[in-house]
Structure 1
């Protein structure tokens, strides 16, 4: 018996999963971050959420990534999946590569890949290189719950190749004045750097190459007007993306660096590795395979992490600034925290976000590879490469490519 209407239709047993008024049986529709259980064939049609397990993903492994059309719902077969078809993401030369390509209308279509397990608190460390060779190109590394609207992010813009921007959001309340840039590093488009988000119930710490540059404490986010801490605390998904910000609304385009110069080169964001250290112990997860199959499988992993991880040490060397991943960094985050900046009090935050906070809220429906090109769009964050928030635009354009 159907749980509810999926738009104007009722999903069938053969196409049980509902997303934005459409029914199907593949990963695009049935993955838990996309699927709408209350509107699907039954409330159990959507695949179960696979929870965080301690993992070290090298993108030289075939089990590190799958195209979404090939993903069967078992997280042990792919750590990350593409979010769209056609896909501009692939494994190549030991890297996960996300490409932004020019479309016939002159705008860019990018790529988004998402972790197949959800995380609630932990330390996430990645070695990557941005694809922002021109103004207008945006790359990102984020942790986001699209349904709730909580997000923690790193974002790169082509207008500035020597820093990365950090921000966080609570319940889709987008406040760009809280953005804080990292200290300068060597060119983020030609060199691999190590980026880390350390997320606990009490604080968030952003680090680059083992050096913490920003700390936000939960205790500082209290808002008496809503009687709540405006602090990201919901289970969320790690993702990477590259997208065209230059063709977006005026505020977005200005922030991203204006229109893209398509002659600047190949816009390719590259990821070598990601280490995921869960705050809570991971759980075995039974998944629901597509096509109404009654078979099931479980994936498991042991995570010995528990308690406060604020004393964790970075496991990457500063040598990664020049593309090297060898060596250990023995400096603890505690010592680095002595020089971190609370985002709300940073002078650089005010300067770097100038012009963004005064932009009017808009609801543009443009998209570029799963990314809204409207920096002011209230239904998603500037860094969220989510399916749901942009389905209205992207789904219409791509429905022929992946519905049948």
Structure 2
């Protein structure tokens, strides 16, 4: 082996190690919180699975709390007839005045599309749902679901394509989640009273157990511990803290919403007969 080849091999091995390290480890980053053995961490912490049967679902929670971050998770959803099931992946604080940033995947009959449900809660108030179909089958392979949460906005992305932005409009009197640190949660559970066609289609338990899989968790984030943040006050090393949608990102959101959005609370006049929430006209 030449010295040049040796150096290249060393660089490649170092690069591979850094990639592996950045993906996170479920044994280190999360605790299984419920399910009585239905949630499993496999492959030396590189894979996590949640399952649901007629007795119980399952879930996990991050060990760290975060106050702002850029968080990725690759998820492969329940295949086949997943009607009645919900796979929830979200950030949340606790209490009646909690903040929350939601991805929820609503199962459906075989061959029908999943519904991706998004919501933002501030100080205990939600009712900000937007729903989408996806432009791929989310049960065939892993796809990356991302939340960018910084002082300017919350951006939901799927495979690096932004689909929704919730801006900080506090200057206009609209609350924004910025003071409560949040944990990462995920769960797989039965919601056949509402999840599929408003509860008309029930869970087919002959298909159980239902399983969703997770890998490649990555958090560039400010960890909150003992009342303080791991990020410095100037956050000079955290470019995501100042990240916003550029022209390309804005075009991608318009593409996703034009072609795949199936519900937007800001256009549901029956739900808001007294007028839409103020962010609908200011965003």
Q: TM-score, normalised by structure 1?
A: 0.50
| Deviation per residue, 1:7-60 (Å, 9 max, x gap) | xxxxxxxxxxxxxxxxxxxxxxxxxxxxxxxxxxxxxxxxxxxxxxxx83445x
Query: Are residues 1:232 and 2:177 paired?
Result: yes
The aligned counterpart of 2:215 is 272
Return the match for 1:311 from 230, 243, 268: 243
- Give the aligned CA root-mean-square deviation in angstroms: 3.8
Give the equivalent residue in structure 1 for 2:54.
102
- What residue number does 2:88 align with? 140
Q: Do the aligned partners of residues 162 and 352 (structure 1) sit closer, same or farther apart at CA in structure 2, a change above 3 Å counting?
A: farther
Q: Aligned residue for 1:180?
A: 130
Q: C-alpha distance in 2, partners of 1:87/1:221?
A: 47
Equivalent pair of 1:158/1:256 in contact (CA under 8 Å) = no
The within-5 A match list for 1:236-255 is: 236-246=182-192, 248=193, 251=194, 254-255=197-198
Say if 1:261 and 1:310 are closer, same or farther in 2 by CA, change over 3 A: farther
CA distance in 1, matches of 2:98, 2:147: 18
**In the alignment, what sits opposite 2:101?**
152
Q: Which residue of 1 aligns with 2:250?
A: 337
Q: CA 1:347/1:87 → structure 2, altered by over 3 Å: closer, same or farther?
A: closer
Cα distance between partner residues in 2 of 1:255 and 1:187: 22
Q: Contact 2:101 / 2:121 at 8 angstroms: preserved in 1?
A: yes
Q: How does 1:23-172 map to 2 (within 5 A)?
A: 56-59=22-25, 64-65=26-27, 78-84=28-34, 86-93=36-43, 94-103=46-55, 109-131=56-78, 133-147=81-95, 148-159=97-108, 161-172=113-124
Q: Following TM superposition, by how much is the alpha carbon of 1:92 offset from its aligned partner in structure 2, in angstroms?
A: 2.9
Q: What is the TM-score when the length of structure 2 is the normalising length?
A: 0.70
Alpha-carbon spacing, 1:261–1:237, altered in 2? closer, same or farther (3 Å): same
3-state DSSP class of the match of 2:59? strand
Q: Hey, what's the Cα distance between the residues in 2 that align with 1:309 and 1:257?
A: 43
Q: Aligned in 2, Cα 1:257/1:211: closer, same or farther, shift over 3 Å?
A: farther
TM-aligned CA distance change 1:200 to 1:129, over 3 Å: same
CA contact (8 A) 1:89 1:111 kept: yes
Are the counterparts in 2 of residues 131 and 242 from structure 1 also a CA contact under 8 Å?
Answer: no
SS at 1:340 equivalent: helix
Note the residue ranges of structure 2 that are not aligned, 5 or more in a row: 1-20, 255-259, 273-283
Change (3 A) 1:347 1:277: closer
Flag the 1:203–1:90 CA change in 2: closer, same or farther, 3 A.
same
Q: Distance in 2 between matches of 1:220 and 1:197?
A: 20
How far apart in 2 are the matches of 1:221 and 1:305? Answer: 27
In 2, the alpha carbon distance for the partners of 1:236 and 1:284 equals 11
Change in Cα spacing, 1:126 to 1:352, as seen in structure 2 (3 Å) is farther
Ranges in structure 1 where 5+ consecutive residues have no aligned partner: 1-54, 66-77, 104-108, 223-227, 287-299, 313-331, 359-404
**Cα pair distance change 1:181/1:273, threshold 3 Å:** same
Bigger share in strand: 2
* 1:349 corresponds to: 263
The Cα of 1:252 is off from its aligned counterpart by 5.2
Higher relative contact order (CA 8 A, sep 6+): 2
Bigger share in helix: 2
Give how far 1:125 is off. Answer: 0.9
Query: SS state of the match for residue 337, structure 1?
Result: helix
Q: Is the 8 A contact 1:141 1:153 kept in 2?
A: yes
Contact kept, 8 Å, 1:163 with 1:185, in 2: the verdict is: no
